[in-house]
Protein backbone atom coordinates (compact mmCIF):
# COMPACT_ATOMS: atom_id res chain seq x y z
CA UNK A 1 0.00 0.00 0.00
CA UNK A 2 1.36 3.42 -0.93
CA UNK A 3 2.50 5.74 1.83
CA UNK A 4 -0.02 8.41 0.82
CA UNK A 5 -2.90 5.99 1.24
CA UNK A 6 -1.61 4.81 4.64
CA UNK A 7 -1.31 8.37 5.96
CA UNK A 8 -4.75 9.31 4.62
CA UNK A 9 -6.35 6.28 6.26
CA UNK A 10 -4.52 6.83 9.53
CA UNK A 11 -5.58 10.48 9.68
CA UNK A 12 -9.18 9.55 8.93
CA UNK A 13 -9.04 6.94 11.70
CA UNK A 14 -7.75 9.46 14.23
CA UNK A 15 -10.44 12.00 13.40
CA UNK A 16 -13.16 9.39 13.76
CA UNK A 17 -12.00 7.72 16.95
CA UNK A 18 -10.58 10.62 18.89
CA UNK A 19 -12.44 13.65 17.57
CA UNK A 20 -14.78 13.47 20.56
CA UNK A 21 -12.31 11.93 22.97
CA UNK A 22 -11.73 12.90 26.58
CA UNK A 23 -8.83 15.32 26.81
CA UNK A 24 -8.32 14.33 30.43
CA UNK A 25 -7.28 10.81 29.50
CA UNK A 26 -3.56 10.23 29.93
CA UNK A 27 -3.27 8.06 26.83
CA UNK A 28 -5.16 7.59 23.61
CA UNK A 29 -5.16 3.81 23.98
CA UNK A 30 -2.97 1.42 25.96
CA UNK A 31 -2.87 -1.10 23.12
CA UNK A 32 -4.27 -2.06 19.73
CA UNK A 33 -5.37 -5.54 18.70
CA UNK A 34 -5.50 -6.15 14.95
CA UNK A 35 -7.48 -8.73 12.97
CA UNK A 36 -7.46 -9.01 9.20
CA UNK A 37 -5.83 -10.24 6.02
CA UNK A 38 -2.84 -9.44 3.78
CA UNK A 39 -3.46 -5.68 3.88
CA UNK A 40 -2.34 -5.69 7.52
CA UNK A 41 -0.60 -9.07 8.04
CA UNK A 42 2.87 -8.35 9.44
CA UNK A 43 4.38 -11.82 9.48
CA UNK A 44 1.88 -14.34 10.85
CA UNK A 45 2.04 -16.37 7.63
CA UNK A 46 5.85 -16.53 7.52
CA UNK A 47 6.12 -20.02 9.00
CA UNK A 48 2.85 -21.43 7.70
CA UNK A 49 2.71 -23.98 4.85
CA UNK A 50 1.14 -21.29 2.69
CA UNK A 51 1.45 -19.73 -0.74
CA UNK A 52 0.35 -16.41 0.81
CA UNK A 53 3.69 -15.14 2.11
CA UNK A 54 5.64 -11.92 1.77
CA UNK A 55 8.88 -12.72 3.60
CA UNK A 56 11.07 -12.18 0.55
CA UNK A 57 12.19 -9.27 -1.64
CA UNK A 58 10.96 -6.88 -2.98
CA UNK A 59 8.58 -6.88 -0.01
CA UNK A 60 9.94 -4.93 2.93
CA UNK A 61 12.59 -3.04 0.97
CA UNK A 62 12.07 0.04 3.16
CA UNK A 63 12.83 -1.86 6.39
CA UNK A 64 16.45 -1.86 7.52
CA UNK A 65 16.38 -5.61 8.12
CA UNK A 66 14.52 -6.40 4.89
CA UNK A 67 11.26 -8.35 4.45
CA UNK A 68 9.08 -8.78 7.53
CA UNK A 69 6.05 -10.61 6.15
CA UNK A 70 4.17 -7.40 5.36
CA UNK A 71 2.66 -7.31 1.88
CA UNK A 72 4.14 -3.88 1.25
CA UNK A 73 7.41 -2.03 0.83
CA UNK A 74 7.18 -0.65 4.38
CA UNK A 75 4.55 0.34 6.92
CA UNK A 76 0.96 -0.82 6.56
CA UNK A 77 -1.98 1.37 7.58
CA UNK A 78 -2.17 -0.22 11.04
CA UNK A 79 1.53 0.53 11.53
CA UNK A 80 0.77 4.18 10.74
CA UNK A 81 -2.19 4.18 13.11
CA UNK A 82 -0.12 2.67 15.93
CA UNK A 83 2.51 5.35 15.40
CA UNK A 84 -0.10 8.11 15.57
CA UNK A 85 -1.47 6.60 18.78
CA UNK A 86 1.99 6.74 20.31
CA UNK A 87 2.35 2.95 20.30
CA UNK A 88 5.33 0.95 19.04
CA UNK A 89 4.95 -1.28 15.98
CA UNK A 90 2.45 -3.95 17.01
CA UNK A 91 4.10 -7.40 16.89
CA UNK A 92 2.71 -10.38 14.98
CA UNK A 93 1.02 -13.00 17.15
CA UNK A 94 3.52 -15.64 16.03
CA UNK A 95 6.46 -13.44 17.04
CA UNK A 96 5.29 -11.64 20.21
CA UNK A 97 6.69 -12.52 23.60
CA UNK A 98 6.96 -11.19 27.12
CA UNK A 99 5.92 -7.61 27.77
CA UNK A 100 5.43 -6.94 24.03
CA UNK A 101 1.84 -8.14 24.35
CA UNK A 102 1.03 -5.15 26.58
CA UNK A 103 0.94 -2.85 23.54
CA UNK A 104 -1.27 -5.17 21.51
CA UNK A 105 -0.96 -7.99 19.00
CA UNK A 106 -1.48 -8.30 15.26
CA UNK A 107 -3.37 -11.52 14.43
CA UNK A 108 -3.93 -10.76 10.72
CA UNK A 109 -3.20 -13.44 8.15
CA UNK A 110 -2.94 -13.19 4.38
CA UNK A 111 -5.74 -15.09 2.55
CA UNK A 112 -7.88 -15.15 5.71
CA UNK A 113 -11.59 -14.52 5.55
CA UNK A 114 -14.75 -14.21 7.57
CA UNK A 115 -15.61 -17.73 6.40
CA UNK A 116 -13.24 -20.50 7.47
CA UNK A 117 -13.20 -22.02 3.99
CA UNK A 118 -12.05 -18.78 2.34
CA UNK A 119 -8.46 -18.81 1.04
CA UNK A 120 -8.02 -22.57 0.92
CA UNK A 121 -6.43 -22.11 -2.53
CA UNK A 122 -3.44 -20.68 -0.64
CA UNK A 123 -3.40 -23.69 1.73
CA UNK A 124 -2.22 -22.25 5.07
CA UNK A 125 -3.91 -19.15 6.53
CA UNK A 126 -5.50 -18.11 9.84
CA UNK A 127 -9.25 -17.42 9.41
CA UNK A 128 -10.98 -14.79 11.55
CA UNK A 129 -12.44 -17.43 13.88
CA UNK A 130 -8.95 -18.73 14.65
CA UNK A 131 -7.62 -15.19 15.05
CA UNK A 132 -10.24 -14.66 17.77
CA UNK A 133 -9.18 -17.88 19.49
CA UNK A 134 -5.57 -16.64 19.35
CA UNK A 135 -6.72 -13.44 21.07
CA UNK A 136 -8.25 -15.58 23.84
CA UNK A 137 -4.82 -17.13 24.36
CA UNK A 138 -3.32 -13.65 24.63
CA UNK A 139 -5.82 -12.74 27.36
CA UNK A 140 -4.35 -15.44 29.58
CA UNK A 141 -0.89 -13.89 29.17
CA UNK A 142 -2.20 -10.38 29.79
CA UNK A 143 -4.09 -11.37 32.94
CA UNK A 144 -0.87 -12.64 34.50
CA UNK A 145 1.03 -9.46 33.56
CA UNK A 146 -1.66 -6.97 34.56
CA UNK A 147 -2.40 -8.46 37.96
CA UNK A 148 -5.70 -10.26 37.52
CA UNK A 149 -9.08 -10.31 35.74
CA UNK A 150 -10.34 -6.93 37.03
CA UNK A 151 -7.28 -5.04 35.80
CA UNK A 152 -7.44 -6.97 32.54
CA UNK A 153 -11.08 -6.06 31.91
CA UNK A 154 -10.40 -2.36 32.54
CA UNK A 155 -7.40 -2.32 30.22
CA UNK A 156 -9.04 -4.29 27.37
CA UNK A 157 -12.07 -1.96 27.44
CA UNK A 158 -9.75 0.98 26.65
CA UNK A 159 -7.89 -0.77 23.82
CA UNK A 160 -8.53 -0.34 20.09
CA UNK A 161 -9.73 -3.38 18.13
CA UNK A 162 -9.05 -2.87 14.44
CA UNK A 163 -10.74 -5.39 12.13
CA UNK A 164 -10.34 -5.49 8.35
CA UNK A 165 -12.03 -8.59 6.93
CA UNK A 166 -14.09 -9.51 3.88
CA UNK A 167 -11.90 -8.94 0.82
CA UNK A 168 -10.73 -12.54 0.57
CA UNK A 169 -14.25 -13.83 0.94
CA UNK A 170 -14.77 -12.33 -2.51
CA UNK A 171 -11.32 -12.64 -4.12
CA UNK A 172 -10.45 -16.08 -2.78
CA UNK A 173 -13.88 -17.60 -2.46
CA UNK A 174 -16.83 -16.09 -4.34
CA UNK A 175 -14.85 -15.15 -7.47
CA UNK A 176 -12.81 -18.36 -7.60
CA UNK A 177 -13.97 -20.98 -10.14
CA UNK A 178 -13.08 -23.88 -7.82
CA UNK A 179 -15.59 -22.68 -5.19
CA UNK A 180 -19.30 -23.47 -5.45
CA UNK A 181 -20.24 -20.29 -3.57
CA UNK A 182 -21.23 -18.26 -6.64
CA UNK A 183 -23.63 -21.00 -7.72
CA UNK A 184 -25.25 -21.06 -4.28
CA UNK A 185 -25.68 -17.33 -3.59
CA UNK A 186 -26.31 -14.16 -5.51
CA UNK A 187 -24.39 -11.05 -4.45
CA UNK A 188 -26.97 -9.94 -1.86
CA UNK A 189 -27.37 -13.41 -0.38
CA UNK A 190 -23.61 -13.80 -0.05
CA UNK A 191 -23.29 -10.39 1.60
CA UNK A 192 -26.04 -11.42 4.05
CA UNK A 193 -24.22 -14.68 4.81
CA UNK A 194 -20.96 -12.84 5.50
CA UNK A 195 -22.57 -10.24 7.76
CA UNK A 196 -24.41 -12.88 9.79
CA UNK A 197 -21.11 -14.62 10.50
CA UNK A 198 -19.24 -11.32 10.99
CA UNK A 199 -21.81 -10.16 13.55
CA UNK A 200 -21.36 -13.36 15.57
CA UNK A 201 -17.59 -12.97 15.48
CA UNK A 202 -17.67 -9.35 16.64
CA UNK A 203 -20.06 -10.31 19.43
CA UNK A 204 -17.51 -12.92 20.50
CA UNK A 205 -14.83 -10.22 20.75
CA UNK A 206 -17.23 -8.02 22.71
CA UNK A 207 -17.91 -10.88 25.12
CA UNK A 208 -14.15 -11.20 25.59
CA UNK A 209 -14.01 -7.59 26.75
CA UNK A 210 -13.49 -5.53 23.58
CA UNK A 211 -15.36 -2.21 23.52
CA UNK A 212 -13.68 0.11 21.00
CA UNK A 213 -13.94 -1.22 17.46
CA UNK A 214 -12.77 0.22 14.16
CA UNK A 215 -14.10 -1.80 11.21
CA UNK A 216 -12.69 -1.37 7.73
CA UNK A 217 -15.05 -1.97 4.82
CA UNK A 218 -14.05 -3.70 1.58
CA UNK A 219 -12.32 -1.46 -0.95
CA UNK A 220 -12.31 -1.20 -4.74
CA UNK A 221 -11.55 -4.85 -5.42
CA UNK A 222 -12.22 -4.29 -9.11
CA UNK A 223 -9.14 -2.07 -9.26
CA UNK A 224 -6.53 -4.32 -7.65
CA UNK A 225 -3.68 -5.66 -9.87
CA UNK A 226 -4.95 -9.24 -10.11
CA UNK A 227 -8.33 -8.06 -11.41
CA UNK A 228 -6.79 -5.44 -13.71
CA UNK A 229 -4.61 -8.16 -15.26
CA UNK A 230 -7.73 -10.08 -16.27
CA UNK A 231 -9.07 -7.15 -18.29
CA UNK A 232 -7.66 -6.58 -21.77
CA UNK A 233 -7.76 -2.80 -21.35
CA UNK A 234 -6.34 -2.96 -17.79
CA UNK A 235 -9.28 -0.98 -16.48
CA UNK A 236 -11.06 -1.43 -13.19
CA UNK A 237 -13.84 -4.02 -13.24
CA UNK A 238 -17.14 -2.30 -12.55
CA UNK A 239 -18.75 -5.72 -12.10
CA UNK A 240 -16.41 -6.64 -9.24
CA UNK A 241 -16.77 -3.22 -7.62
CA UNK A 242 -20.56 -3.53 -7.74
CA UNK A 243 -20.31 -7.05 -6.31
CA UNK A 244 -18.92 -5.85 -2.96
CA UNK A 245 -21.35 -2.96 -2.52
CA UNK A 246 -24.05 -5.03 -0.74
CA UNK A 247 -21.45 -6.16 1.80
CA UNK A 248 -20.41 -2.60 2.62
CA UNK A 249 -24.05 -1.52 2.85
CA UNK A 250 -24.75 -4.41 5.22
CA UNK A 251 -21.68 -3.47 7.28
CA UNK A 252 -23.03 0.02 7.91
CA UNK A 253 -26.33 -1.44 9.13
CA UNK A 254 -24.43 -3.96 11.28
CA UNK A 255 -22.39 -1.18 12.91
CA UNK A 256 -25.56 0.74 13.78
CA UNK A 257 -27.17 -2.37 15.26
CA UNK A 258 -24.12 -3.25 17.32
CA UNK A 259 -23.84 0.28 18.69
CA UNK A 260 -27.51 0.23 19.64
CA UNK A 261 -27.52 -3.22 21.24
CA UNK A 262 -24.16 -3.68 22.96
CA UNK A 263 -23.78 -1.56 26.13
CA UNK A 264 -20.67 0.64 26.36
CA UNK A 265 -19.49 -0.43 22.90
CA UNK A 266 -18.30 1.96 20.21
CA UNK A 267 -18.18 0.61 16.65
CA UNK A 268 -16.86 2.84 13.88
CA UNK A 269 -17.05 2.02 10.17
CA UNK A 270 -14.31 3.22 7.80
CA UNK A 271 -15.60 3.53 4.23
CA UNK A 272 -12.49 2.28 2.43
CA UNK A 273 -14.45 1.95 -0.83
CA UNK A 274 -15.29 5.65 -0.90
CA UNK A 275 -11.86 6.74 0.28
CA UNK A 276 -9.97 4.79 -2.38
CA UNK A 277 -12.40 5.93 -5.03
CA UNK A 278 -11.69 9.51 -4.02
CA UNK A 279 -7.93 8.91 -4.17
CA UNK A 280 -8.16 7.37 -7.65
CA UNK A 281 -10.44 10.06 -9.05
CA UNK A 282 -8.80 13.06 -7.37
CA UNK A 283 -5.13 12.05 -7.23
CA UNK A 284 -3.91 15.63 -7.71
CA UNK A 285 -5.70 16.69 -4.54
CA UNK A 286 -3.41 14.31 -2.63
CA UNK A 287 -0.20 15.53 -4.26
CA UNK A 288 0.31 12.76 -6.82
The per-residue pLDDT for 267 is 96
Between 279 and 240, where is the model more confident? 240
Neighbours of 241 (CB within 10 A): 18
Tell me how many domains the chain contains: 1
Asked if residue 13 belongs to a domain, the reply is yes
Query: Looking at the domain assignment, is residue 156 inside a domain?
Result: yes
Question: What does the pLDDT look like over 45-78, one tens digit per residue?
Answer: 999 999 999 999 999 999 999 999 999 999 999 9
The pLDDT of residue 21 is above 50:
no
For residue 198, which of 185, 176, 186, 216 has the smallest C-alpha distance? 216
Range of the domain at 96: 3-17+28-286
Domain assignment present for residue 213? The answer is: yes
Whether the pTM exceeds 0.75: the reply is: yes
CATH number at residue 188: 3.40.50
Within a domain: 114 = yes
Paired residues of 214 in beta bridges = 162, 268
Q: Is residue 22 part of a domain?
A: no
Angle in degrees, CA 181, 199, 71, rounded to 5: 65
CA-to-CA distance for 67 and 76, rounded, in angstroms? 13
Confidence of residue 11 (pLDDT cuts 50, 70, 90): low
* Angle value at C-alpha 40, between 39 and 45, nearest 5 degrees: 95
- Residues 61 and 134 sit within 8 Å (Cβ to Cβ): no
Query: Which of 184, 154, 190, 158 is closest to 171 using CA atoms?
Result: 190
- pLDDT tens sequence across 169-194: 999 999 999 999 999 999 999 999 99
240 is a domain residue = yes
Can you give the pLDDT at residue 53? 97
Chain segment 98-126, per-residue pLDDT in tens: 899 999 999 999 999 999 999 999 999 99
Whether residue 174 lies inside any domain: the answer is yes
Looking at residue 211, its pLDDT comes to 97
User: Hey, is 161 helix, strand or coil?
Assistant: strand
> Which has more pLDDT, 15 or 39?
39
pLDDT at 153 over 80: yes
Evaluate whether residue 119 is within a structural domain. yes
Amino acid sequence: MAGLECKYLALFFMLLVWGGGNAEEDEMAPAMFIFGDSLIDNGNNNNLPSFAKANYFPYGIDFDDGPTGRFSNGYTMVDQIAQMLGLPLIPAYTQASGSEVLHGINYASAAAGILDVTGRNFVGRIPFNQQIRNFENTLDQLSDQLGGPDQLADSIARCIFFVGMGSNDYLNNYLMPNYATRNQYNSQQFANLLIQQYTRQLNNLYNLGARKFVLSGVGLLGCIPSILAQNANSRCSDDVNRLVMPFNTNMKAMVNNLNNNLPAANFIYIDIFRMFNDILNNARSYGT
